[in-house]
Amino acid sequence: MRPHLSSREWHDHYLRNAASLLPIPWEAGAQLTAEEERAIVASLRAWQLGETSDGRHLVAAAERYATAIADPDFLAAVRLFIREEQRHGEMLGRFLDMHGGGRILRNWGDSVFRWMRYCLPNMEIWTTVVIAVETLALVYYRAILLATENPLLQAICRQILRDEVHHLRFQYERLALICAGRGTCAWWLTLQLQRVLFFGTTLAVWVDHHRALSAGGYSFSQFWHAAWKRMEFHWRCMRQDTASNMTAQNPRDHQPSRRFDDQNRVDQVPTVAPPVRA
């Protein structure tokens, strides 16, 4: 089994990733066809808002958690994770500015998820919500990639997809660690609550973004199937991690799922190398 990445190694991964970004052809411009405009611009604005946050509440939750488990590197890794999300927001924002019409400051879906995270400020809630949203982000950005022929927007989507695959592993490894001490019943209950959250989140994303998803080739049933297939995969990885973590003495000793590296082949997400040890 490939050794797991410690918080320090995740920190180093984020640094290396920031130094090896894909080329983004800003010179290609942000022109869209009328059909693309109708299908995806409003949706992109909402998603851009979701990618934009100063991360204050997450930093506060991560700080408490890192102190409790005596792992300051975790906080450093979370700060770099937030920076990557902000980079996604900046890229999408710059694209929308170039396209014209600008950005939005409010969206109902974004408000709901911010409220959930802010009202329940612990790492388990944060990671659970982030895993649900990022799982759907993999489907969403793939849809946008297929919905447009604009090379700039396609390059932005590829970079985001490349980053998000690692975000998911970073988050679900952590959630597996947090849940490691739970018995079968407690784990079952945790999973049911996560299913309820994911059900609602998936439905909300379809309601708000069905035009863009449809333009990318997803009918409702295809979107639903793709989303749950991904999420079931992450749950299986988490369960596997949780089982191995139950025997770990130290949070840093946990073992990740060996199946993570197969994730890129699950649903034709653009291939990306896994994080590696320094």
Which residue, 88 or 174, has its beta carbon nearer to Fe ion? 88
Q: Which of 53, 52, 45 is nearest to 97 (CA)?
A: 45
Residue 2 and residue 241 in contact, taking contact as beta carbons nearer than 8 Å? no
Question: Measuring CA to CA, which residue among 248, 240, 267, 205 is closest to residue 1?
Answer: 240
Interface mask toward Fe ion for 134-163; x: CB under 5 A: x-----------------------------
Print the binding letters for residues 43-62 with Fe ion: x by CB under 5 A, - otherwise.
Answer: --------x-----------
User: Dihedral of CA 153/132/274/237: which sign?
Assistant: negative
Among 12, 36, 164, 208, binds Fe ion (CB under 5 A): 164
Q: From CA 222, how far away is CA 260, in angstroms rounded? A: 23
CB of 51 to Fe ion, least distance (A): 5
C-alpha neighbours within 13 Å on the C-beta side of residue 84: 28
Applying CB under 5 A, among 4, 117, 142, 167 the residue interacting with Fe ion is 167
State the burial class of residue 189 (Cβ atoms within 10 Å of its Cβ: 0-12, 13-18, 19+). exposed
For Fe ion, the closer CB: 164 or 208: 164
Q: Tell me the closest approach of the beta carbon of residue 163 to Fe ion, in angstroms.
A: 6
- Asked whether the CA dihedral 140, 77, 4, 174 is positive or negative, the reply is negative
Nearer to Fe ion, 202 or 255 (CB): 202
Closer by beta carbon to Fe ion, 76 or else 160: 160
80/243 with CB nearer Fe ion? 80
Q: Does residue 142 contact residue 133 with C-beta atoms inside 8 Å?
A: no
Size of the site for Fe ion (CB under 5 A): 6
142/255 with CB nearer Fe ion: 142
> Smallest distance, Å, CB 41 to Fe ion?
18
Task: Please select the residue that binds Fe ion; options are 88, 162, 166, 174, rule is CB under 5 A.
Answer: 88
Taking CB atoms, the residue at the shortest distance from Fe ion is 167
Q: Compute the least distance from the CB of residue 123 to Fe ion, in Å.
A: 16
165 to each of 96, 121, 133, 139, 263, how far by Cα in Å?
A: 24, 24, 12, 11, 8
Q: Which residues bind Fe ion (CB under 5 A)?
A: 51, 85, 88, 134, 164, 167
